[in-house]
Amino acid sequence: MRIQPASMMGRLPTQFFATLVGKVNKVIAEGHDLINLGQGNPDLPTPPHIIEEMQLQAAKPLHHKYPPFQGRRELKQAIAHWYKTEFDVDLDPDEEVAILFGSKTGLVEICQIMMNPGDVALVPDPGYPDYWSGVEIVGGRMAMMPLRAQNNFLPDYAELAPADLERAKLMFLNYPNNPTAVNAPMEFYEETIQFARKHEIVVCHDFAYGAISYDNQKPISFMQVPGAKEVGVEFYTLSKTYNMAGWRVGAMVGNRELVKLMNELQDHYFVSLFGAVQMAAVRALTDSQQCVRDLVNVYEKRRNTLFDGLARIGWEAKPSQGSFFAWLPVPTGFTSASFADHLLEKAHIAVAPGIGFGPTGEGYVRVALLSTEARLQEAVERIEKLKLFT
């Protein structure tokens, strides 16, 4: 029998990170000591008290049955508690919080509940490639919003074509930003809400790195801004805040109608997360947040180590404001892909080429702060030997 896949399968973008992993694994298989700065997977373990809670909860027969379809109320309350404690945002746990299998799932699903074939999504460029996946699955079209250094890596809404705005249903934003590692000011969010109201566009703010910011600057939650719930939602995940990437716990919060639609869609996909995982997430969100402060301190020390080293060898770049990434311009004579290949082949260092995050990402590479300070220092020393910045 000949298998004939749906046309949607042909529309899916190439999984950029899978290609990068293939190159990295080849270098490792050849026996080289690779410093992998291209990944986005937290390198430190989940805090012990969360693991202990998971072990305790996993033994309870209650969690061996199907959990409530739309998630345990305890977890919704814990998410609302976290938003109130961290950002003074009030959320109704029953109507303004949807539990997700990680925020990535929700970012794809929001397209399914809002877009028809031919509808437009406004997408940051560079940006997280899985925004593209959700749009392509529903047969939508992307209008790219260039993020440029001269505009502090914020989109300029005046650049968008009227024809795109006419068909636009969604807009994806992400601050602290992956890959550019900048934060957004309150004024930008206020402008965004006015823009969204005018054009009736749903704002989808990806707040995956909402706990990770430097120099005593706290990121702004979109939900803090007056009017945010009227025009959109925010996606949050425990993956980065608590080193729980493999646990797949996320949430979408905000607009009640969108939360209801998300829950209706997920009723057809899932029977929510394993109950023990949900209760461990409750512990993470409601217990002491010292583990988060400690983690941010680790990342800030790594950031300082990296950028001090880059300055010493003449690689000029602005230090990261948030997330656990650095966004670095490539030297003259290279594209982002050729420079990434050069570092991999000549220095056995993996970085992510900026072109993988969108056309405007050309000219940059993304470096992750997910190795020890010693390894980051060693990476700088290896790059120095290539004499690219002298």
Low-confidence spans in the chain with pLDDT less than 50: none
Q: What's the confidence (pLDDT) of residue 361?
A: 98
- Looking at 3.40.640.10, 3.90.226.10, 3.30.1540.20, 3.40.50.80, the CATH number of the domain 62-286 comes to 3.40.640.10
Q: What are the domain boundaries of the chain? A: 7-46+290-385, 62-286
Give residue 185's pLDDT. Answer: 98
Q: Which CATH architecture has domain 7-46+290-385?
A: Alpha-Beta Complex (3.90)
Task: State the pLDDT at residue 202.
Answer: 98
pTM score of the predicted model: 0.96
Specify the pLDDT at position 11: 87
Token pair 């001269």 is at which residue?
150
**Token pair 């490539």 is at which residue?**
330
Q: What is the pLDDT of residues 174-224, one digit of tens each?
A: 999 999 999 999 999 999 999 999 999 999 999 999 999 999 999 999 999
